[in-house]
Amino acid sequence: MILYNTRTDKLPLSTEFYNNHANGLKMFRYNETLMNNCGDYKIQEQITSDVYYTYNALVKFNNTLDKEVINAFNILDKFLQEHKEVKNSKDNKCKNYYEKILYWNNKYKKDSSDSSVQIIISDVQDLMRFLAKQEIIKESGCNLKRNYF
Protein backbone atom coordinates (compact mmCIF):
# COMPACT_ATOMS: atom_id res chain seq x y z
CA MET A 1 0.00 0.00 0.00
CA ILE A 2 1.30 3.44 -0.88
CA LEU A 3 1.75 5.98 1.91
CA TYR A 4 0.68 9.58 1.36
CA ASN A 5 1.12 12.90 3.10
CA THR A 6 -0.58 16.28 3.09
CA ARG A 7 2.49 18.49 2.69
CA THR A 8 1.51 20.00 -0.65
CA ASP A 9 0.89 23.44 -2.10
CA LYS A 10 -2.89 22.97 -1.81
CA LEU A 11 -3.47 21.78 1.76
CA PRO A 12 -3.04 23.84 4.93
CA LEU A 13 -0.69 22.63 7.66
CA SER A 14 -3.00 23.88 10.42
CA THR A 15 -6.53 25.18 10.89
CA GLU A 16 -5.45 28.84 11.00
CA PHE A 17 -6.36 30.99 8.04
CA TYR A 18 -6.34 34.62 9.11
CA ASN A 19 -2.98 34.70 10.93
CA ASN A 20 -1.20 32.19 8.72
CA HIS A 21 -0.45 33.58 5.26
CA ALA A 22 1.01 30.29 4.00
CA ASN A 23 -2.27 28.52 4.79
CA GLY A 24 -4.19 31.32 3.10
CA LEU A 25 -2.18 30.90 -0.09
CA LYS A 26 -2.61 27.14 0.01
CA MET A 27 -6.36 27.44 0.44
CA PHE A 28 -6.61 29.77 -2.55
CA ARG A 29 -4.60 27.24 -4.58
CA TYR A 30 -6.93 24.52 -3.33
CA ASN A 31 -10.11 26.28 -4.49
CA GLU A 32 -9.78 29.93 -5.44
CA THR A 33 -13.42 30.36 -6.46
CA LEU A 34 -14.74 29.03 -3.16
CA MET A 35 -12.38 31.16 -1.08
CA ASN A 36 -13.16 34.32 -3.08
CA ASN A 37 -16.92 33.79 -2.75
CA CYS A 38 -16.85 33.37 1.04
CA GLY A 39 -16.23 37.01 1.82
CA ASP A 40 -16.03 36.58 5.59
CA TYR A 41 -12.84 35.49 7.34
CA LYS A 42 -14.81 33.28 9.73
CA ILE A 43 -16.21 31.28 6.83
CA GLN A 44 -12.77 31.04 5.23
CA GLU A 45 -11.32 29.86 8.54
CA GLN A 46 -14.08 27.24 8.86
CA ILE A 47 -13.42 25.95 5.33
CA THR A 48 -9.70 25.81 6.12
CA SER A 49 -10.49 23.78 9.21
CA ASP A 50 -12.78 21.44 7.26
CA VAL A 51 -10.14 20.88 4.57
CA TYR A 52 -7.38 20.33 7.13
CA TYR A 53 -9.28 17.76 9.19
CA THR A 54 -10.83 15.92 6.23
CA TYR A 55 -7.67 15.33 4.23
CA ASN A 56 -5.56 14.57 7.29
CA ALA A 57 -8.13 11.97 8.38
CA LEU A 58 -8.08 10.39 4.91
CA VAL A 59 -4.27 10.25 4.84
CA LYS A 60 -3.99 8.88 8.39
CA PHE A 61 -6.65 6.31 7.61
CA ASN A 62 -4.90 5.19 4.43
CA ASN A 63 -1.48 5.03 6.07
CA THR A 64 -2.76 3.06 9.08
CA LEU A 65 -5.06 0.74 7.13
CA ASP A 66 -2.20 -1.37 5.81
CA LYS A 67 -0.83 -2.46 9.18
CA GLU A 68 -3.54 -1.91 11.82
CA VAL A 69 -7.09 -2.19 10.50
CA ILE A 70 -8.80 -1.69 13.86
CA ASN A 71 -6.78 1.45 14.63
CA ALA A 72 -7.49 2.78 11.14
CA PHE A 73 -11.22 2.56 11.71
CA ASN A 74 -10.77 4.11 15.16
CA ILE A 75 -9.24 7.10 13.33
CA LEU A 76 -12.36 7.31 11.15
CA ASP A 77 -14.65 6.99 14.13
CA LYS A 78 -12.78 9.72 15.99
CA PHE A 79 -12.97 12.02 12.95
CA LEU A 80 -16.71 11.43 12.60
CA GLN A 81 -17.30 12.12 16.30
CA GLU A 82 -15.13 15.23 16.61
CA HIS A 83 -15.79 16.94 13.28
CA LYS A 84 -19.49 16.64 12.55
CA GLU A 85 -19.45 20.20 11.19
CA VAL A 86 -17.66 18.92 8.06
CA LYS A 87 -20.86 17.29 6.79
CA ASN A 88 -22.31 20.81 6.42
CA SER A 89 -19.14 22.34 4.97
CA LYS A 90 -19.24 24.97 2.23
CA ASP A 91 -16.64 22.86 0.41
CA ASN A 92 -18.44 20.14 -1.55
CA LYS A 93 -15.33 17.96 -1.70
CA CYS A 94 -15.12 17.85 2.08
CA LYS A 95 -18.82 16.99 2.31
CA ASN A 96 -18.40 14.16 -0.21
CA TYR A 97 -15.34 12.75 1.56
CA TYR A 98 -17.15 12.99 4.90
CA GLU A 99 -19.94 10.87 3.40
CA LYS A 100 -17.40 8.34 2.06
CA ILE A 101 -15.74 8.13 5.47
CA LEU A 102 -19.14 7.62 7.10
CA TYR A 103 -19.98 4.91 4.55
CA TRP A 104 -16.67 3.07 5.10
CA ASN A 105 -17.04 3.27 8.86
CA ASN A 106 -20.61 1.97 8.83
CA LYS A 107 -19.70 -0.78 6.36
CA TYR A 108 -16.87 -1.92 8.61
CA LYS A 109 -19.09 -1.86 11.71
CA LYS A 110 -21.70 -4.02 9.96
CA ASP A 111 -19.25 -6.42 8.33
CA SER A 112 -15.62 -6.50 9.44
CA SER A 113 -14.73 -9.57 7.38
CA ASP A 114 -11.57 -9.66 5.28
CA SER A 115 -13.51 -9.36 2.02
CA SER A 116 -15.33 -6.26 3.24
CA VAL A 117 -12.07 -4.69 4.43
CA GLN A 118 -10.43 -5.46 1.07
CA ILE A 119 -13.26 -3.66 -0.75
CA ILE A 120 -12.79 -0.63 1.51
CA ILE A 121 -9.01 -0.73 0.98
CA SER A 122 -9.56 -0.77 -2.78
CA ASP A 123 -11.91 2.24 -2.56
CA VAL A 124 -9.45 4.13 -0.39
CA GLN A 125 -6.54 3.40 -2.73
CA ASP A 126 -8.55 4.60 -5.74
CA LEU A 127 -9.47 7.82 -3.92
CA MET A 128 -5.88 8.44 -2.82
CA ARG A 129 -4.56 7.93 -6.36
CA PHE A 130 -7.19 10.38 -7.63
CA LEU A 131 -6.20 12.99 -5.03
CA ALA A 132 -2.51 12.47 -5.84
CA LYS A 133 -3.22 13.07 -9.55
CA GLN A 134 -4.89 16.35 -8.61
CA GLU A 135 -1.81 17.19 -6.52
CA ILE A 136 -3.91 17.67 -3.41
CA ILE A 137 -1.91 15.01 -1.58
CA LYS A 138 1.36 13.36 -2.56
CA GLU A 139 3.12 10.06 -2.14
CA SER A 140 5.31 9.92 0.90
CA GLY A 141 9.05 9.67 0.40
CA CYS A 142 9.35 6.76 2.84
CA ASN A 143 7.48 4.29 0.60
CA LEU A 144 10.55 2.54 -0.78
CA LYS A 145 12.07 1.94 2.63
CA ARG A 146 8.79 0.76 4.17
CA ASN A 147 7.88 -1.51 1.25
CA TYR A 148 11.35 -2.99 1.25
CA PHE A 149 10.91 -4.36 4.77
Q: What is the pLDDT of residue 147?
A: 52
Q: What is the pLDDT along the chain (149 residues), one digit of tens a residue?
A: 788 999 999 999 999 998 899 999 999 999 999 999 987 889 999 999 999 999 999 999 999 998 899 999 999 999 999 999 999 999 999 999 999 999 999 999 999 899 999 999 999 999 999 999 999 999 987 655 455 44
Indicate the DSSP class of residue 32. H
pTM of the predicted model, to two decimals? 0.91
The reported pLDDT for the residue numbered 138 is 93
Residue 128: count of CB within 10 angstroms of its CB: 22
103 neighbors 120 (Cβ within 8 angstroms): no
Sign (positive or negative) of CA dihedral 105, 121, 55, 31: negative
Give the other-Cβ count within 10 Å of 64's Cβ. Answer: 18
